[in-house]
Chains A and B, each alone.
Chain A
Amino acid sequence: MRSFGNGADRFGLVTRVLHWSTALLVLGTLPLGLYLAGAEIGLSTLWLFGLHKSIGIAVLGLALVRLVWHRLSPPPPPMASVPAWQVRAARWTHRVLYVLIVAMPVSGWVASSATGIDTVIFGGWTLPRIAPVSERWEEVGFAVHGALAAALLTLIALHMAGAVHRRDGTLRRMLRG
């Protein structure tokens, strides 16, 4: 019977759904953000900003749910065959990834708040402003958002490389439990 929670040596359904849905959304919105940073904006592309913000807030929500879920149902330890240095590298990669997938949407929210224009997600929900309306805050917010995006891309590449490099079932248990 399929288990929702994590086991001693397996990832449950909830963790796997959270992981892959977060991955999908992040891999979708990162290139979108890069495109928006350099594109000429007009009426036909305006909706993409709303899409990017909506996905970003969804990622933030999933990250927070995941943090709570892993308190309730701790993930299994690394496979026994993994060398200690890889365990340490993976642990730190995961920690930094968590920080980034929370910090990225928050920095975007700060920058968006600072523009003075409502941050509207999913076509109609207006987020509260979390920064003063200020050109300086906007400038710094977007600069931080951009820098975090570069760091996140790097960490994702490391994370994926590590998952593929290991041929000990680590990736399989995140795919199939």
Chain B
Amino acid sequence: MRVLAVFAFLLIFSVASAAAPARYDLQPEESTVGFTWFFGKDPIDGSMPVASAKIAIDFQRLANTTVRVAVDVTEARAGFVFATQAMRGPRILDAARHPLIVFESTAVRPDGAAAIVEGLLTVRGVTRPVVFGAQLFRQRGTEEGDLSRISILVTGSLSRSAFGASGWSDLAGDEVRLRILARLRRADEE
């Protein structure tokens, strides 16, 4: 679904009518948790399905926004079969013992036309603070000011070795770039 327009978070504050955080449900079939890693010099794209998501957005006071998302490592794909096996294996994500990667926000604040989302990421049992950038979009088919269906693009990068997922460092780079496109529907919408 193509994005029609970008809304600054401050603009959204002015049109929003909700006084408290609004709960949103993730539309998993239209959302993607994508990542890019480097096989030698070659960038390889992978993805992971979302296992669960709890998102509450306060458009008037962004600091009240909370996000908790878990992704399913056992169904993660790393671009090609061998890489997927290696990624799920004990030397990287160890999916058999740690089937979920969990992100829980600790702070959300505006950053110009976007937002900064700070939180704790738990990968293979190791929890580290992370910082991501986020942009909010209105979905196609919604009117200006209608926040019942929105899309959030989250980007950032992390070091896999910081979480102990350091296997095959001679073949795969340490940096993993995230690109998450979450399509959300307000929970009280029918």
Does B42 belong to the interface (CB within 8 Å)?
A: yes
A116 engages B171 (CB within 8 Å): no
7 cross-chain CB contacts under 8 A: A41-B171, A42-B42, A46-B39, A46-B80, A116-B89, A117-B89, A135-B91
Within 8 A of A (CB), among B95-153: none
Is B90 part of the binding interface, using a Cβ–Cβ cutoff of 8 Å?
A: yes
Partner of B40, one of A40, A133, A135: A40
Report yes or no: B85 in contact with A118, Cβ–Cβ below 8 A: yes
In the bound complex, what is the Cα–Cα distance between A118 and B88 (angstroms)? Answer: 13
Q: Give, as a whole number of angstroms, the nearest-CB distance from B51 to chain A.
A: 23
CA distance A133 to B90 in the complex (A): 9
- How far apart sit A3 and B81, CA to CA, in the bound complex (Å)? 47
User: A42, A44, A118 — which one has the most chain B CB atoms within 10 A of its CB?
Assistant: A42
Partner of B82, one of A40, A117, A133, A135: A117
Interface status of A80 (Cβ within 8 A of chain B) = no
- The answer for the CA separation of A102 and B90 in the assembled complex, in Å, is 30
Q: How far, in whole Å, are A115 and B92 apart by their CA atoms in the complex? A: 12
Known: A116-B85, A117-B82. 15 other contacts (CB 8 A): A41-B40, A41-B171, A42-B39, A42-B40, A42-B41, A43-B39, A43-B40, A43-B44, A46-B39, A116-B90, A117-B86, A117-B89, A118-B82, A133-B89, A133-B90
Which A residues touch B85, using CB under 8 A?
Answer: 116-118
- In the assembled complex, the CB of A109 is this many whole angstroms from the nearest CB of chain B, namely 16
Q: What is the CB-to-nearest-CB distance from B74 to chain A, in angstroms, rounded to a whole number?
A: 15
Residues on A with beta carbons closer than 8 Å to the beta carbon of B41 = 40, 42
Report A15-43 residues with CB < 8 Å from chain B CB: 40-43
**Residues of chain B from 36 to 70 with CB closer than 8 A to chain A in the complex:** 39-42, 44
- The residue in chain A whose Cβ has the minimal distance to the Cβ of B85 is A117
- For B44, list chain A residues within 8 Å (CB): 43
Alpha-carbon distance between A135 and B168 when the two chains are bound, in angstroms: 10
Task: Kindly state the separation between the CA atoms of A41 and B44 in the bound complex, as whole angstroms.
Answer: 13
Q: Cβ of A118: which chain B residues have Cβ within 8 Å of it?
A: 81-82, 85
Pairwise interchain contact A46-B82, C-beta atoms closer than 8 A:
yes
Residues 40 to 86 of chain A near chain B (Cβ within 8 Å): 40-44, 46
One of B40, B42, B81, B86 near A116 (C-beta < 8 A): B86
A122 to B112, CA, bound (A): 55
- Assembly CA distance A117 to B83 (angstroms): 8
Query: Chain B contacts of A116 at CB under 8 A?
Result: 85-86, 89-91
Query: What are the 7 tightest A-B residue pairs by CB atom distance, in nearest-first order?
Result: A42-B40, A116-B89, A43-B42, A42-B42, A117-B85, A117-B82, A40-B40
How many whole Å from B168's CB to the nearest CB in chain A? 9
Q: Provide the bound-state CA to CA distance between A45 and B85, in Å.
A: 18
Q: A117: which B residues are within 8 A, CB to CB?
A: 82, 85-86, 89
Residues of A contacting B39 in the complex (Cβ-Cβ under 8 angstroms): 41-43, 46
Bound together, the chains give a CA A135 to CA B86 distance in angstroms of 13
Nearest Cβ in chain A — how far from B154, in angstroms? 27
Give A42 to B39 CA distance when docked, in angstroms.
6
Interface string of A109-122 (1 = CB under 8 A from B): 00000011110000
- Bound CA–CA A43/B80 (angstroms): 10
Nearest Cβ distance between residue B121 and chain A, in whole angstroms?
24
B110 to chain A, nearest CB (A): 40
Closest CB of chain B to A130's CB: distance in Å? Answer: 17
